[in-house]
Structure 1
Amino acid sequence: MSLKSFGAKIFAKQVRNNIKKWASQPEDTQMKVFQQIIAKGKYTAFGKDHNFSKIKTYKDFAENVPVRDYEELKPYVERMVAGEESVLWPGKPLYYAKTSGTTSGAKYIPLTKDSMPTHINAARNAILCYIAETGNSSFVDGKMIFLQGSPEMQEKNGVKLGRLSGIVAHYVPAYLQKNRLPSWETNSIDDWETKVDAIVEETRKENMTVISGIPSWVQMYFERLEKKSGKKVGDLFKNFNLFIYGGVNFEPYRSKFENLIGRKVDSIELYPASEGFFAFQDRQNEKGMLLQLNSGMFYEFIKAEEFYSENPQRLSIGEVEIGQNYVMIVSTTAGLWAYNIGDTVQFTSTKPYRVIVSGRIKHFISAFGEHVIAKEVEEAMQTAISETDARISEFTVAPQITPAGEELPYHEWFIEFEKEPEDFKKFSDILDKSMQKQNSYYFDLIEGKILQPLKITKIPRDGFQKYMKSIGKLGGQNKLPRLSNDRNIADKL
């Protein structure tokens, strides 16, 4: 065992013990965060506009600060981007994480001196919890890769801006710099396909032990490795035993990954976003990710079915229930206040608080009142894969409201198969029965002959990659929506 590996085990135990302390006192931990951010926020323009000096309790906060999304917070952000100080958080941000907006072009999410360490520490702590639980630390001596956006940044009125993954690349600790791949030059390549090919060349002869990234883009890297070397990834990288991922549910990809790798490897799920690093998988055999309650973020939750009502009830951490679908609202040390990040989550545990991401509040199918969410279609796909011999590369779902002739409407599943099921009807039936079991509204619509069972449209190999390339979102942190309530994606496919 190397000195670095031995040291990692000692540090991992210390970090895990500290996590257990705050996780066992969730409401007290959150109240401390609340008091700290209000104390600083009162000196900002936003704080003065929303009576922060009079806010003493969470009830005061909810009465004075309405829930907002980016569009509603945008006037404050624009003042910051123009160079004004102390608008949402004291002083100027360190960075702006530039993301794709759905209605207003680019979004600029502030990252501050107070918020930036929480992104870095959460990623580190996820790995340390894994070491503390499994005792496996040998991977720290090998090479590690994170498929990410370019670390090169621009500047806007004295503040640097770039993709979150590129910003984080500047914070790789010194003790990991020698282990890190790809090179800075390769990481800075803008064209994703060119970049993946360069990463393949840089890594295929290295001792890769940890590989990280969004599953769909890591899959592309693995496929090109296999094509270049003629070997399974697990044979090429004999010491590769840890896959770290975030952004999408890994389960629909798992069988494809195991085929590409040639064996099973451990995995750690992360829940990072430009707005904050919200959660990470702290236990290998527990469902859900540990919500980061002590990382400068105060959480509120609104039941998804109430979200668009006139006065939806806002709940703090002590009021949530397991299995309920919530829109997650955050107030952070980056100056986001009662901010709707757009994600829906479900709690799998309250001792400690663990969540899964169930979808996006704007990404659902409810063309007929069924309100199908991402979690349901992903679980249905996982069931169909596990009960057949199929493997998939990617999929998305959309409603077909006006089919030809006298045909009933249906949900159309666009699937790129890596291996088609031998019994296609059985695969389709399993998908549909799983959807009916999970979603009572969908069941009623099928039973009532309002909808017919789902239909599958096969997408040619690399079809989804070509689609993402056609809209300028190939690679990096870009993700294909799992489902849509319209046919914008479906018609292009």
Structure 2
Amino acid sequence: MLSLKAALAKPFAKRVYKSVQKWANNPIETQEKVFQELISSATSTQFGKDHDFISINTHKDFVKRVPVRDYEELKPYVERVVAGEENILWKGKPIYFAKTSGTTSGAKYIPITKESMPTHVEAARNAILLYIAETGNAKFVDGKMIFLQGSPILEKKHGIQLGRLSGIVAHYVPKYLQKNRMPSWETNCIEDWETKVNAIVEETLPENMTIISGIPSWVQMYFEKIQERTGKKVGDVFKNFNLFIFGGVNYEPYRAKFENLIGRKVDSIELFPASEGFFAFQDKQNEKGMLLQLNSGIFYEFIKADEFFNKNPKRFTIKDVELGINYVMIVSTNAGLWAYNVGDTVEFTSTKPYRVIVSGRIKHFISAFGEHVIGKEVEQALQEAVKESDAQVTEFTVAPKINPDSGLPYHEWFIEFEKEPSDIEEFSNKIDASLQKQNSYYFDLIKGKVLQPLKISQVKKNGFQDYMKSIGKLGGQNKIARLSNDRKIADILDAQNLIK
């Protein structure tokens, strides 16, 4: 028997599904409207005046006047906003800054405005509602839900509140979900990640958990602690847990491990949220990719990843993108980011409607020998090898070994196994064969004897957690880089004796 809340969720989900279909089926007009609204709203801002927004009518005009920038290049404007000036990047002042720890630029302050904040909340809500509309499953709304996130405690800077995005969003949980939501406010405010996860385990164990959400690597830590504490599979502890919501990294390398920890399969919804905007969410259980949010105050441009570092690479709008090409995603938003390089690379899996997968980071690649290997390729190669073996992988990263003691250079894979493959050499060969198949540059370098096939170095149990702890990035929204063009991560793993 459905509760009143679950019964009401279904017609609401249908209504939201229809309104999403409206813009998803009119993508080009929707994006054109967003573009015009953004330009006209910011014409009298400092940025708008500096870039002659008043004479921008088309995307072509915009490309001529507004160059692509990353955070470092936009920083002079952001610093004026942080200092309390008004009408700089967007009208008035932002209501928040999402503070993120940038890898290259120290702390980043990403503005969130009264226009952009609702789009973050709405997209997260719609992801769940579209799942209900598709599957008819609404029972979970009566159970408890958890999102493993950063602390909701916010600081103030010149009258503007700042904190982690997940902590800011915690202030916007709808009233009808407040009673269902976990952990408690006090537990959510614990800064030390290990202490926090232990407190979450204590709080959630007696509850009817139905939705669990967070970055896979940190949810895994939570699941492992539950298993340690109870000696049971997570699915036996939480009998009604049937929906896992995740974002931030590709779930596939974790799927087998999760199914083992849970003890059964559960449905999952993938999200693509960032401080700069909520870009996409999975709208169908059996379709590859996430629905690009074209109606959320974000105008998208795309640059082919292999042309990105050219002098004047072509900037495409959605009407010109093609399937299966690796693009750097550029956004202009109603939070005052303009032709902003988020750093993520995406690939379109569908153009009717527009769906994307996150293929990696433009800064996270290996091309020490001209091979241009990207995150999606290493993840797929590992996934294929895991599927064809008895191995289970906890975490991994890849780095180039340019000057080995003997023999040709190679890619070194640092893998923490939950369960080692019975034949590590065969496992390694399968990964290498998949990489060669996916990436013609890598294939040519192996064939031409410039590189030798990859080598695996095994990381000790919890080694990656120890590494993240050592660099002050354990928990929250922090993630291990899947691959690097240098050996910074590799050297720390080595120096801390985390390799077997």
Same fold per TM (> 0.5)? Answer: yes
Unpaired runs of 5+ residues, structure 2, are 494-500
| Partners of 2:33 and 2:105 in 1: CA distance | 35
Pair 1:77-2:73 in alignment: no
Whole-Å Cα distance in 1 between the matches of residues 345 and 172 of structure 2?
29
State the shift of 1:415 in Å. 0.3
SS at 2:366 equivalent:
coil
Following superposition of structure 1 onto structure 2, how do residues 67-146 of structure 1 map, counting pairs within 5 Å? 67-146=68-147
Q: Deviations over 1:63-114 (max 9, x none)?
A: 1111000000000000000000010000010100000122221000000000
TM-score normalized by the length of structure 1? 0.99
1:268-288 per-residue CA deviation (whole Å, 9 max, x = no partner) reads 000000000000000000000
Query: CA deviation digits over 1:37-78, x for unaligned, max 9?
Result: 111110210000000111111111111111000000000000
* Residue of structure 2 equivalent to 1:154: 155
Q: Give me the whole-angstrom Cα distance separating, in 2, the residues matched to 1:39 and 1:385.
A: 51
Alignment partner, residue 276 of structure 1: 277
Read off the aligned partner of 2:380 and give its amino acid letter. Answer: E
Alpha-carbon separation, structure 2, partners of 1:328 and 1:428: 32
Equivalent position of 2:498 in the other structure: none
Report the CA distance between 1:169 and its aligned residue: 0.2
Quick one: distance in 1 between partners of 2:392 and 2:478? 22
Match of 1:213 in 2: 214
Distance 2:332 2:269 in 1: 26
In structure 2, the residue matched to 1:185 is 186
Structure 1 gap ranges (5+): none
Counterparts of 2:43 and 2:9 in 1: how far apart (Å)? Answer: 40
Q: 3-state DSSP class of the match of 1:18?
A: helix
Q: TM-score, normalised to structure 2's length?
A: 0.98
1:359 corresponds to: 360
Whole-Å separation in 1 of the counterparts to 2:205 and 2:412: 39
Alignment of 1:288-307 (within 5 A): 288-307=289-308
**Alignment of 1:204 onto 2:185:** no
Q: Residue type of the partner of 1:89? A: W
Find the aligned partners of 1:392 and 1:204 in 2 and give their Cα distance.
26
- Name the SS for the 1:148 alignment partner: coil
**Shift, 1:328, TM fit:** 0.3
Distance in 1 of aligned mates of 2:312 and 2:105: 26
The residue aligned with 2:13 is 12
Q: 3-state DSSP class of the match of 2:256? A: helix
What whole-Å deviation, never above 9, does each CA across 1:330-368 have from its counterpart, x for those lacking one?
A: 000000000000000000000000000000001000000
Residue 402 (str. 1) matches residue 392 (str. 2): no
Q: 1:486 is matched by which residue type in structure 2?
A: D
The one-letter code sitting in structure 1 at the alignment partner of 2:284 is R
Partner in structure 2 of residue 3 of structure 1: 4
How much does 1:425 deviate? Answer: 1.5
Give the alignment's Cα RMSD to 1 decimal. Answer: 0.5
Alignment length, in residue pairs?
A: 492
SS of the residue 2:260 aligns to: helix
1:472 is the counterpart of 2:469: no
Q: Deviations over 1:263-306 (max 9, x none)?
A: 00000000000000000000000000000000000000000111
**Partner of residue 239, structure 1:** 240
Tell me the residue number matched to 1:267: 268
Per-residue CA deviation, residues 3-24 of structure 1 (Å, 9 max, x unaligned), is 1101111111011111111011
> 2:496 maps to which residue?
none
Q: Residue by residue, what CA displacement relative to the aligned partner does 1:430-454 show, whole Å, maximum 9, x if unpaired?
A: 1000000000000011111111110
| 1:45-56 to 2 correspondences below 5 Å | 45-56=46-57
2:457 is matched with 457
What is the deviation of 1:204? 0.8
Report the residue type matching 1:133 in the other structure: E
For residues 356 and 239 of structure 1, what CA distance do their matches in structure 2 show? Answer: 29
Q: For residues 329 and 218 of structure 1, what CA distance do their matches in structure 2 show? A: 30
Q: Which runs of 4+ in 1 moved over 2 A?
A: none
Matched, 1:430 2:430: yes
Q: Which amino acid aligns with 1:239?
A: N
